[in-house]
A and B are shown apart, each in its own frame.
Chain A
Amino acid sequence: MTSLVLLEFDASGIKQPSRSAVAAATALGEVHALVAGAGLADAAAAAAKLPGVAKVLVADNPALDHLLAEPTAALLVALAPNYSHLLAATTAVGKNVMPRVAALLDVQPISDIAGVVDADTFIRPIYAGNGLATVKSSDGKKVITVRAASFDPVAADGGNAPIEAVTVGDLPGLSKFVSAELSKSERPELTAARVVISGGRGMQNGENFKLIEPIADKLGAAVGASRAAVDAGFVPNEFQVGQTGKIVAPELYIAVGISGAIQHLAGMKDSKVIVAINKDEEAPIFQVADYGLVADLFQAVPELKAELEKA
């Protein structure tokens, strides 16, 4: 029984959610990794170093650049006969590609698993994490996306897997990459950060997010936001933590001016330590917070900055 994991990468190596997907796959048996795109020497080398990866497949083809769903799914389907499980992280890429793969293989995908019970049986959150369903698949092949926050990623270094080029057949040309507007940030990615500090509707406007930035810099934290803050236009959608945004589980999560709607809690309640700062004593966020501070954020946040700078 061998699994194939679709990896995502950038200039700094294999992305952390993909390394979590590798960790989930190692619970199932032998793991092969796939890097696809154009100009893959560095990505292939980085993949070969992942502990637990027995072989790296490299599909180098301009049509696979940006991992568009149509060609990437076709590639995975072509490789599928050798594998019992096909996995990717639950990211924009994984969510886009894997269900397409599953349908082409006549398989019901198992989305966003948070646990592996056995080769057929998995645990996945439903209803914004208000239930944990244990599901058993009767399909011969499993197509899976992995909730990165639920699996400790394998290290970026330590392995030495052989690298093998795969021949890429005809790929569908139904879609074309036009452009990307990616936010430039020196801060860690939300899903990979050790500390996350998020603002909610209580921030009142986008300008006020500047208040939490020095704290993020001091703690090496990523900045997030509640859906309410995104809906109100304070910050772009990629900041959103929650059921319909990003799922995070950092060591420390600081919620500032966030009331704690169910859908937000779904995205952060697996954090190790949760801090909530909110002036409303009754805010539901305090029910999940390890440390709650009932205070006006416009006073508390500058104080917090000063206190952290003291140390």
Chain B
Amino acid sequence: MKIIVPVKRVVDYNVKVRVKSDGSGIETAGVKMSMNPFDEIAVEEAVRLKEKGVATEIIAVSLGVPQCAETIRTALAMGADRGILVESDADLQPLAVAKLLKAIVDKEQPQLVILGKQAIDDDMSATGQMLAALLGWSQGTFASKLAVDGNTLTVTREVDGGLETVALTLPSIVTTDLRLNEPRYASLPNIMKARKKPIATMKPADLGVDVTPRLTVLKVTEPPKRKAGQKVGSVAELVSKLKTEAKVI
């Protein structure tokens, strides 16, 4: 089967992000960008399915500024076969992203789309579910394990109280949780090989999708800072302060 893996370019997870002083957003100029960590897990899972002989082809898709091509290259170096870049300077929100991905799915006809469960920038956790809805497909979100058997995809999901296993009729959408796998590092030879793999470039208009944002960001502020606390010298002092000062025990 063919698998599509959407990959998002986000501020690297190690970067301490800062709110812009004019309150218009988060400072991204000159900041290190990387593939969204959950998307790395998605790419890894697709590559493992290919190594097991379940998948035949993996297409990495990214949407956004031209530099998203680098994110696709990372996926190609990990083992994806080819890339599709949908170039846009717009603020692409999950609804628009889901519509663009649907248009690509309609063309490419994969049986499975694996996405990260959330992007660590907007923390929306929505795109996979929305794509499943637009396609009328089943969805296995927050997956910690998946197995393909004929036309059925069995997904173990991380839910609030533990794990839940569902059986889905393919084609399906899967979104990845942390424990699904540990993504590999691309080897140098594979990074070199990835340079030769093809990336097709298109625009939202080519896919007939209106990407106008539905949410307007009015302002972004810093969260209230906690007041500086105090160091206590002993457990006895801690317990006493929790009782008499904080009054929480």
Docked CA distance A124–B96 (Å): 19
Whether A103 pairs with B160 at a CB distance below 8 angstroms is no
Chain A contact patch, size range = 35 or more
Given contacts A69-B139, A70-B139, A291-B242, contact A136 B166 (CB under 8 A): no
Q: Per-residue 0/1 for A176-212: is the Cβ within 8 Å of any B Cβ (1 yes, 0 no)?
A: 1111111100000101000100000000000000000
Which residues 90-117 in A have Cβ within 8 Å of B in the complex? 91-93, 95-104, 106-112
Question: In terms of DSSP, what is the predominant structure of the interface of chain A?
Answer: mixed
Least CB separation from B248: chain A residue = A252
Q: Which residues of A contact B242 (CB under 8 A)?
A: 252, 273, 275, 291
Docked CA distance A136–B93 (Å): 13
Whether B123 pairs with A112 at a CB distance below 8 angstroms is yes
A87 in the interface (beta carbon within 8 A):
no
B168 in the interface (beta carbon within 8 A):
yes
Which residues 239-261 in A have Cβ within 8 Å of B in the complex? 243-244, 246, 251-252
Whether A236 pairs with B214 at a CB distance below 8 angstroms is no
Given contacts A66-B164, A293-B231, contact A125 B223 (CB under 8 A): yes
Docked CA distance A179–B163 (Å): 8
Stretch from A27-35, A161-169, A301-309 at the B interface: A301-309
Whether A99 pairs with B126 at a CB distance below 8 angstroms is yes
Whether A103 pairs with B134 at a CB distance below 8 angstroms is yes
Which residues 1-27 in B have Cβ within 8 Å of A in the complex? 11, 13, 16-19, 25-26
Which residues 160-205 in B have Cβ within 8 Å of A in the complex? 160-169, 177-179
Least CB separation from B130: chain A residue = A103
B74 in the interface (beta carbon within 8 A):
no
Stretch from B43-51, B63-71, B77-85, B233-241 at the A interface: B233-241
Which residues 218-249 in B have Cβ within 8 Å of A in the complex? 218-223, 226-232, 234-236, 238-239, 241-243, 246, 248-249
Given contacts A99-B125, A129-B223, A291-B246, contact A137 B238 (CB under 8 A): no
Docked CA distance A174–B129 (Å): 14
Docked CA distance A73–B126 (Å): 13
Whether A126 pairs with B125 at a CB distance below 8 angstroms is no
Given contacts A136-B216, A294-B231, contact A92 B124 (CB under 8 A): no
Whether A291 pairs with B162 at a CB distance below 8 angstroms is no
Distance (Å) between the CB of A175 and the closest chain B CB? 5
Given contacts A174-B168, A252-B242, contact A304 B125 (CB under 8 A): no
Stretch from A36-44, A47-55, A78-86, A282-290 at the B interface: A282-290
Whether B130 pairs with A307 at a CB distance below 8 angstroms is no
- The 8 Å CB contact of A100, one of B133, B215, B235, B246, is B133
Docked CA distance A308–B213 (Å): 54
Distance (Å) between the CB of A284 and the closest chain B CB? 10
Distance (Å) between the CB of A1 and the closest chain B CB? 19
Q: Which residues of B contact A92 (CB under 8 A)?
A: 142, 157-160, 164
Whether A175 pairs with B169 at a CB distance below 8 angstroms is yes
Whether B229 pairs with A291 at a CB distance below 8 angstroms is yes
Give me 8 other A-B pairs in contact (C-beta within 8 A), A127-B17, A175-B169, A176-B166 excluded.
A68-B166, A112-B123, A130-B26, A181-B164, A288-B229, A292-B229, A292-B232, A307-B239
Mark A residues whose CB is within 8 Å of B. Answer: 66, 68-70, 73, 91-93, 95-104, 106-112, 121, 125-139, 172-183, 189, 191, 195, 219, 227, 230-231, 236-238, 243-244, 246, 251-252, 262-263, 269, 272-275, 286-295, 300, 303-304, 307-308, 311
Q: Give me the 4 closest cross-chain CB pairs, A-B, nearest first.
A: A103-B130, A103-B133, A108-B214, A99-B126
Mark B residues whose CB is within 8 Å of A. Answer: 11, 13, 16-19, 25-26, 38, 93-95, 98, 117-118, 120-134, 136-142, 144, 154, 157-169, 177-179, 213-223, 226-232, 234-236, 238-239, 241-243, 246, 248-249
